[in-house]
Homo-oligomer: A and B are copies of this chain.
Amino acid sequence: MNLTNQLTALLDIDYPIIQAPMAGEATPELAIAVANAGGLGGLGCSYMSVDEIERNVARIRAGTDGSFNLNFFAHPEPRADAKLDASTRARVAPFYEELGIAEVPERGVATCDTFSWEKTEALVELRPRVVSFHFGLPDLDMVRALQRAGIAVMSSATTVAEASRLDEAGVDVVIAQGWEAGGHHGSFEASADDVGVGLVALVPQVADAVRCPVVAAGGIADGRGIAAALVLGAQGVQLGTAFLSCPEANTDDNYRAALRQARDDDTRLSSAFSGRPARTRNNRYVEAMARARTRFPDYPTMYAFSQPLAQACAGGKASGFEFVLYGQAAALNRELPAAELVARLVDETRESLGLTDKSR
């Protein structure tokens, strides 16, 4: 066992540590710090126009020669569903009234676009080392166009079946994302909130099923978790929550305070915010929606109904409806600059694996 392998060669990184490209919280500064420390930096670009993507890539390249990853959601176009909009409206209306929000939205509205040829063409020009997708893959012709430009393509799998589909589609890397993971789970379909495969079971089964390198994601916060992922059969790890406490992340004060108080058992997988399951801190809204087992409008149109509630809680004006995403190992977070965190993770991993200096 050592820390360089097929994955580090493919991604041109020193250590098999990937910073999750969390849309909203990942920043060019975070990606730069991680890349300069020898990991793979990442930036979630689903909420950006092509112009914004180009500007952000220029910022990253001004700060590092290292590898970085641009991430995009590959969900299908949401379907309009007036009946589902109406039932959702009825369900959330009492919360709106309680919080004194005048208007309950009439219908779901998409807050971000799915991947497109316009973005594909821009990426072919920009040539980041890696492009990753979440919620499956876009049109395979787009994937091929990226790969022909020398870009490595990754996507997430939450089951062995999804991993096999990605492998058969020819991705360069499969990210095996466990039940423990914070934020949106990458299941291809909007899966149920009460199912998911734990990372310890998922990684070896995915490693056995696919030909490409496997990255483990979910519930990994320190070198013990990284070492465990490697012995399970992964060639690398992706950490999101662990990087939320870095000063380079765009994590607001309330979010950082929540991370400081996080416990192993204070989150829930919930589709009640976006329409797709995301692991979020448990609160009144999440609990109420879980009890009701409501079906929600398609991702990402459900945000139209949930965001006004979350915004009404901003700055502590109210509570119970916040959207605070983190994974089940958040309590292990360290508040360190990203470069220092990566160095610490590498040292801890070596220690956990019993690697001597000689094997570096």
List the interface of chain A (C-beta within 8 A of B). 1, 159-161, 178-180, 192-202, 204-205, 208, 218-222, 224-225, 227-229, 231-233, 263-265, 268-269, 290-291, 293, 327-329, 331-332, 352-354
Contact = CB atoms under 8 A, between A and B. Distances in A.
| A-B pairs, 3 with minimum CB distance | A201-B219, A194-B194, A201-B328
A175 to B, nearest CB: 15
Contact of A198 (B218, B232, B291): B218
Contact of A180 (B197, B224, B233, B329): B197
A198 B328 contact: yes
A159 B265 contact: yes
9 contacts: A159-B265, A160-B264, A160-B331, A179-B196, A198-B219, A200-B200, A201-B327, A205-B332, A225-B232
Contacts of A192: 290
Nearest to A352: B231
Contacts of A1: 354
Contact of A265 (B197, B218, B269): B197
Given A159-B264, A200-B180, A352-B231, A194 B269 contact: yes
A278 to B, nearest CB: 14
Contacts of A331: 160, 205
Contacts of A204: 221-222, 224-225, 329, 332
Nearest to A195: B268
B194 A268 contact: yes
A37 B223 CA distance: 32
A263 B201 CA distance: 11
Contacts of A202: 264, 328
Contacts of A269: 194
Nearest to A226: B231
Q: With a 10 A CB-CB cut-off, give which of A180, A222, A264, A291 has the most chain B CB atoms.
A: A264
Given A224-B204, A265-B160, A329-B204, A198 B199 contact: yes
Nearest to A159: B265
A102 B192 CA distance: 35
Contacts of A329: 200-201, 204-205
Contacts of A161: 263, 265
Contact of A228 (B197, B231, B263): B231
Contact of A264 (B180, B197, B228, B232): B197
Contacts of A332: 204-205, 208
